[in-house]
Structure 1
Amino acid sequence: MTTSHQELLPGTRRALLHRIAVAQSEGRTPSLVAAVVRGGRTVWHGARTSVEGHAPDENVQYRIGSITKTFTAVLVLRLRDEGVLDLGDPLEKHLPGTGAGEATIAELLAHTSGLAAESPGPWWERTPGSLRPELADVLGEQPFRHPVGRRHHYSNPGYTLLGALVEKLRGAPWEDVLRREVLEPLGLNRTSGRPSAPHAGGWAVHPWADVLLPEPVEDLGRMAPAGQLWSTTGDLAKFAVFLTYGDERVLSAESVREMRAPAAPAELADVAAGVTYGLGLQVFHGDGRLLVGHSGSLPGFLANLTISVDDDVAAVVLTNCTSGPQPGALGADLVRIVAEAEPRIPEPWRPLPEVEPAVLELAGQWYWGTQVFALRLTADGGVSLGPLTVTGRRSRFRANGDGTWTGLEGYYAGEVLRAVRRPDGSVSHLDLGSFVFTRRPYDEAADVPGGVDPEGWRGIS
């Protein structure tokens, strides 16, 4: 992927530079580096540093902390897509004897397993991984804090278990599997478990004085799948493209879309902010747009990856201090700046190359009771069904190849839509999860549940 500074307008580039300059200055961090992705490639890169003449570029490594979890989730989804496991499987089925085996793989991915947020013992991010050589050392004697599946509770040990699951089923160390199955196919040559020059050093900045303290760099050992990786803005920009479009060498577009879908209920404290969690990805609303990605932190480093799929814009932010800047807010701002200053230009409208007459016959107006809906054919061979009013249930549907469609979102996600025909082949009604849609409100010629009053519609005298 090439870096271009010419594809954004000068005013947009200046706004991006101003935003990261404010973040570096007010956040009091030694350095901050960022990138913006649009249309599948990097279109802007910027950096600020307190060391004149030594601004980091897109090849300088920073530690990315919990963004590592998204990489681990990709490995687990690959196992699912290969049929090696099901996300509904309890962990015990594939990795017995952990003491946390009742949690399902999906619950571990979405942080709804009920496991503790942290590992017992010394602060694992600032102590050697050799202190926790076994899974029992990571989980402790009482690994659960909540009933399994009842609430979202972010868990670092949960992703340690997922890394151990990958190792068990692949028969190789987690990092080796990651490199072979994800990093090499996607060309992420500057992402690694240990730092490789050039890389930034991690610092703590005194809260009340402009002085620094170096942070230790520890190998996290068993906790590596939860936060070990080092990466660059260049590599994470490529990873953002993958999480937007998919890549058949790693995961299909459908599987990465599944990762981006909310899979955990929002905590009450997060409801107002619209924050929830998918399968290895954070999902949240910002400035009226749906954003996905992940944040990361380890002593000395903060990181963020933010994607707006609808705007086709992503941002990466990396910095080398323990606290100060807010990379999540910064990433969302970088996305907003580009999306608002240079809105996505839609693809030209083109007619469908072909359409089956039996499907075209279904297009148009339908009624669920008295509420009016429209069924439209979509460019990808599916259909959409939604109310003609502002509010109401709507969904896109994927063709199943047998004359039926499966819902992709909202209330109708996973539900089957089919046309019910009379013996002469004419369409009686649409059936959607037992809901009947007719061409006229309560069409007496259709099989409407409960029947239709034989006297028909009337006024009141």
Structure 2
Amino acid sequence: MTTSQDDLLPGTRRALLHRIAVAQSEGRAPSLVAAVARGGKAVWHGARTSVDGHGPDENVQYRIGSITKTFTAVLVLRLRDEGLLDLGDPLEKHLPGTGAGEITIAQLLAHTGGLAAESPAPWWERTPGSLRPDLVDVLGEQPFRHPVGRRHHYSNPGYTLLGALVEEVRGAAWEDVLRREVLEPLGLHRTSGSPQAPHAGGWAVHPWADVMMPEPSEDLGRMAPAGQLWSTTADLARFAGFLLLGDDRVLSAASVQEMRTPAAPAETADLAAGTSYGLGMQIVNRAGRTLVGHSGSLPGFLAGLVISVDDDVAAVVLANCTSGPPTFTVAADLVRIVAEAEPRVPEPWRPMAEVDHAVLELAGQWYWGTQPFGLRLSAAGGLALEPLSSVGRGARFRANGDGTWTGLDGYYAGELLRPVRRTDGSVRHLDLGSFVFTRQPYEEGASVPGGVDPEGWRGLP
């Protein structure tokens, strides 16, 4: 039997089905649907249900709760990429009069604005949005719980402000902008603000008895950018592919990578749990694997979207119960099952098409003081600095086009790497954020700060 690139092996499919079956059974969910994507395409769908003869498929809508926030963040990054705002701008510059205008747009995206987690009572998720017609009703008289920018504190009202920002800059309703700029270009035709048949009903399952009660489904009004959307596993699998690869019609690969990068200071508990937050995306380190995505919940529904960039695998899990299976954890397990059973096959190694000898000269061994490093030139044209001992800071660098390089990660992120050349054009040393790297440890005649002892290396006197 020939297996196409997008197929999963029978054993993998069996393991995926077993995982969601356990989740639906132990979580006592009326129904649970899931999908796995690889290479930007859905490769598996599964469902479990308590109703005999009826299995929801990948086109049945469920409410996705706070996964909505990731969609809202995409809209804000689009405004930034168009030059209509800067993430460092205070909200007041573009949306005056909120009473929370000192918070920057980046702080709202990363939940570091110090705002309350919820809007004032009554509980906004279970009451009509008409009770909160204006931003002042969402924020309340005392919107702040912490100093601005000092800590990560998840805030639903913060994303209401971001939705209002989108409306102010675009001059149109948040949902209309979302449909025009994200949903339609990506082909997410089964994602909407209001439920569209076929859709699941939301249920509360009694904690001490196997009985259920229907949950109300409210239009969240102003709070919609924080949690309004309904979607399907098929649409969310496609959305996960976008969050992995980008799509220039919506947002570039560089901008979605920015969303996946930690942007908030971690709490002590978060450090212990290996969790952080980017720009509209949660980041979790689990068993040596970095996962990004978002969880979601509203009365009657639970949702989880998880992506492993390194494994090129994403998973979506949706359930129609108020409490029950841990959908984010289950989605993470689906990613792990595929990544371990069918690990990503690397692309064939290929040499560079063209060689810039001025860059090739930089490759090889360098020393910062007495610490050895290797500088490697990749076929893609980037540089990678790698410590050759058990200590030392590594980093990747991109070319700036003028002979200098900018760090992309780690300690040297944003720092400038500059080759310093002799009069004949050969490289004398490397300057990396004021650190001098030489071909030999404390090389004689090199521009090492503090100078090099003229007697050179010696043994014990």
Q: TM-score range by the shorter chain?
A: over 0.9
Q: Does 1:197 align with 2:194?
A: no
Equivalents in 2 of 1:100, 1:190: separation in Å? 35
Q: Does 1:272 align with 2:275?
A: no
Maintained 8 Å contact 2:352/2:380? no
Maintained 8 Å contact 1:266/1:274? no
Maintained 8 Å contact 1:64/1:297? yes
Maintained 8 Å contact 2:371/2:392? no
Corresponding residue number in structure 1 for 2:206 = 206
Maintained 8 Å contact 1:68/1:228? yes
1:123-172 deviation line (CA, Å, top 9, x unaligned) = 00000000000000000011000000000000000000000000000000
Question: How far off its partner does 1:5 sit?
Answer: 11
Instruction: For structure 1, list consecutive stretches of 5 or more residues without a partner in the other structure.
Output: none
Alignment of 1:122-137 (within 5 A): 122-137=122-137
- SS of corresponding position for 1:32: strand
Alignment of 1:303-382 (within 5 A): 303-382=303-382
Alignment of 1:120-269 (within 5 A): 120-269=120-269
Greater CA drift, 420-429 or 88-97: 420-429
Q: Which amino acid aligns with 1:158?
A: G
Maintained 8 Å contact 1:62/1:200? yes
- SS of corresponding position for 2:23: helix
1:75-124 deviation line (CA, Å, top 9, x unaligned) = 00011111111111110111111000001000000000000000002000
Corresponding residue number in structure 1 for 2:44 = 44
Equivalents in 2 of 1:186, 1:396: separation in Å? 31
Question: How far off its partner does 1:379 sit?
Answer: 2.4
Maintained 8 Å contact 1:132/1:222? yes
Equivalents in 1 of 2:279, 2:250: separation in Å? 16
Maintained 8 Å contact 1:365/1:372? yes
Question: How far off its partner does 1:392 sit?
Answer: 2.5
Q: Does 1:287 align with 2:287?
A: yes
Equivalents in 2 of 1:6, 1:383: separation in Å? 32
Alignment of 1:47-86 (within 5 A): 47-86=47-86
Maintained 8 Å contact 1:157/1:226? yes
Q: Does 1:113 align with 2:113?
A: yes
Maintained 8 Å contact 2:6/2:38? no
Equivalents in 2 of 1:184, 1:290: separation in Å? 30
Equivalents in 1 of 2:407, 2:415: separation in Å? 5
- SS of corresponding position for 2:420: strand
Equivalents in 2 of 1:274, 1:373: separation in Å? 29
Maintained 8 Å contact 1:16/1:337? yes
Q: Which amino acid aligns with 2:436?
A: V
Equivalents in 1 of 2:391, 2:329: separation in Å? 30
Corresponding residue number in structure 2 for 1:296 = 296
1:57-88 deviation line (CA, Å, top 9, x unaligned) = 11000000000000000000011111111111
Equivalents in 2 of 1:344, 1:94: separation in Å? 44
Equivalents in 2 of 1:396, 1:107: separation in Å? 27
Equivalents in 2 of 1:378, 1:238: separation in Å? 31
Question: How far off its partner does 1:443 sit?
Answer: 1.1
Question: How far off its partner does 1:390 sit?
Answer: 4.0
Maintained 8 Å contact 1:66/1:297? yes
Maintained 8 Å contact 1:32/1:48? yes
Question: How far off its partner does 1:446 sit?
Answer: 1.6
Q: CA RMSD in A?
A: 1.1
- SS of corresponding position for 1:272: helix
Deviating above 4 A after TM superposition, structure 1's stretches of 4 or more consecutive aligned residues are none
1:219-245 deviation line (CA, Å, top 9, x unaligned) = 000000000000000000011000001
Maintained 8 Å contact 1:302/1:319? yes
Q: Which amino acid aligns with 1:54?
A: H
Q: Does 1:10 align with 2:10?
A: yes
Corresponding residue number in structure 2 for 1:408 = 408
Equivalents in 1 of 2:391, 2:211: separation in Å? 55
Q: TM-score, normalised by structure 2?
A: 0.98
In the alignment of these two chains, the number of paired residues is: 458
Instruction: For structure 2, list consecutive stretches of 5 or more residues without a partner in the other structure.
Output: none
Q: Which amino acid aligns with 2:130?
A: S
Maintained 8 Å contact 2:445/2:452? no
Question: How far off its partner does 1:391 sit?
Answer: 4.0
Equivalents in 1 of 2:23, 2:279: separation in Å? 30
Corresponding residue number in structure 2 for 1:427 = 427
Question: How far off its partner does 1:389 sit?
Answer: 2.4
Corresponding residue number in structure 2 for 1:453 = 453
- SS of corresponding position for 2:107: helix
